[in-house]
Structure 1
Amino acid sequence: MSYLGSAGDASKFGTEAFFAAIGRAFVAMCAVIPVLFLIEAIDIGLGAGTLDLAGGIIPHRMDGLDGIIFSPFLHAGWDHLYGNSVPLILVGTFALAGGTRRFLCSTLVIILVSGIGVWIVGDPNSVVVGASGVVFGYLGLLFARGFVERSWWNLGVAGFIGLLYWYQIYNILPTNEAISWQGHLLGLLGGVIAAIAFRRKRVRPVPALYDPNPTLTDL
């Protein structure tokens, strides 16, 4: 048997099932982007910022709590959406390839940790929208999976994407008042929490009770 694992094991790097899972996840994430563009087009059609004000996170205000769920689907213009689309496809593909159920549960944790955190510590004079908190969450998810599941390919992917978008990593620090660094940092934390909470259990091999190929000796 190959050291890469059986052909049907999607968790093993290099197997046919692994690459098939990556392909399906890529198609699924690509299908999400047109939905985000449609939402932005509706927002602009209603009057730029209409949906953002209605569904964004407004820190410290009760009428801004619903933004915890809706804000990742809203963006402050086309440039904002373009900037999130490619990273979302990249990190989302590898996060989803690890299993649909784990992906959905992890996404929910990331959205809640990032959204609730922003509502608590964010600027009360701001309206926070965008999927970047989820993007940073998936990055944290992949990075943490590399350690908790001893998955070098997850760690490698997180490192590679981090290098591609190194200039955005600074956005987890308060360097730009127009950017919700709290959402980015808390999204990253949410991804780490999700990686630990929904980690894949390591299966220990069961020792054989007998040797199926015994060595014959002469008496």
Structure 2
Amino acid sequence: MLKNFQLSPKAIFYPMLMLAAMWTGFFLQQFGLFRDCSGSIIPLTPEGLKGVFFSPFLHGNLEHIIGNSLPIVVLMFLLYQFYQPIASKVFFTGWIATGLLVWLLPPIDIMTGDFYYSCIIGASGLVYVMAFFLFFSGVFRWDLKLLAVTLLVGMYYGGLVWGVFPEELFYNLDAPSKISWQSHLSGAVVGVILAFIFKNSGEKKKKYIWEFPDYYNEKDDKLWMQYKENHPEDFREMPQKKKDAVWEQLDELRKRS
């Protein structure tokens, strides 16, 4: 896989562009351009719809934006490197769909059932979209290269799965958590759905001509006869493991020819 690896310029450019936009939004917040809930998702309110577009650029504090910056860069790189033909569709569809789903979910304190006013900002919804898309897309496609990406995402970001649950389930909190599990859950759901929708889109799994059932090649027959003449001992009631080794050698001769 590494031998034929070619770095895509888009896999560098788009993550850096998104990172620059996030930090620009954060600095504008520090200068007071976005005050209070301006630009955030406010569930079930008309003015909160603006946040569907603007909230990924806004963050509550330095720790918040730093925590989202690295996952955004890494996951966008993997998305645009290994799913380039559909990467932009996945990214922007996931962005809008997740934002709308968050806007539709009423903010409820699950311990008391009470509604509360909520302003939701941050790019964590996008992080969950890409993480769950990359993980499940490799599984749905069952492609060796993409499964490697799946394992990589699972290894480094597997802990994200706990973020789809409210913190109140694990800790005794005096007030509802400021971490939006609704964004995480929405992003995860959207990511899985997009992985299923696009499972047959983009780069196709490479299939060699001899893998087709009706394949026939005269050169292969000659190679087979030549092998039998030169190695008659391999055809005298050889065990199954030895037969498998012979077929592997024939496949290697076929590729070289």
Instruction: Specify if TM > 0.5.
Output: yes
Aligned residue among 155, 160, 184 for 2:155: 160
Name 2:41's counterpart in structure 1: 57
The RMSD of aligned alpha carbons is 2.5
How many residue pairs were aligned?
Answer: 198
Aligned residue among 87, 91, 106 for 1:103: 87
Identity of aligned residues (%): 25
Q: Which has the larger displacement, 82-91 or 152-161?
A: 152-161
Q: Which runs of 5+ in 2 are unaligned?
A: 108-115, 169-176, 226-257
Deviations along 1:159-181, one digit per CA (max 9) or x if unpaired, are 12225xx2x54221110610110
Q: Provide the TM-score with structure 2 as the length reference.
A: 0.68
Name 1:92's counterpart in structure 2: 76
Name 2:191's counterpart in structure 1: 191
**Quick check: 1:73 aligned with 2:38?**
no
Deviations along 1:31-79, one digit per CA (max 9) or x if unpaired, are 42122111211121125x42x6221111010111121122112111222
Q: Which has the larger radius of gyration?
A: 2
Q: Which has the larger displacement, 176-185 or 24-33?
A: 24-33
- Separation in structure 2 between the aligned mates of residue 204 and residue 15 of structure 1, nearest angstrom: 18
Contact 2:102/2:182 (8 A) holds in 1: yes
Contact 2:120/2:180 (8 A) holds in 1: yes
Deviations along 1:62-112, one digit per CA (max 9) or x if unpaired, are 111121122112111222111100111111211111233411111122223
1:1-219 aligned at under 5 Å gives the runs: 13-16=1-4, 18-21=5-8, 25-46=11-32, 49-50=34-35, 53-123=37-107, 125-150=117-142, 151-163=146-158, 166=159, 168-175=160-167, 177-199=177-199, 200=201, 201-202=204-205, 207=212, 210-211=216-217, 213=219, 215=221
Q: In 2 relative to 1, CA 144–133 (structure 1 residues): closer, same or farther, beyond 3 Å?
A: same
- Separation in structure 2 between the aligned mates of residue 211 and residue 195 of structure 1, nearest angstrom: 38
Q: Provide the TM-score with structure 1 as the length reference.
A: 0.79
Q: In 2 relative to 1, CA 122–179 (structure 1 residues): closer, same or farther, beyond 3 Å?
A: farther
Paired AA for residue 122 in structure 2:
G
Paired AA for residue 147 in structure 2:
W
SS in 2 for 1:136: helix
Q: Which runs of 5+ in 1 are unaligned?
A: 1-12
SS in 1 for 2:7: helix
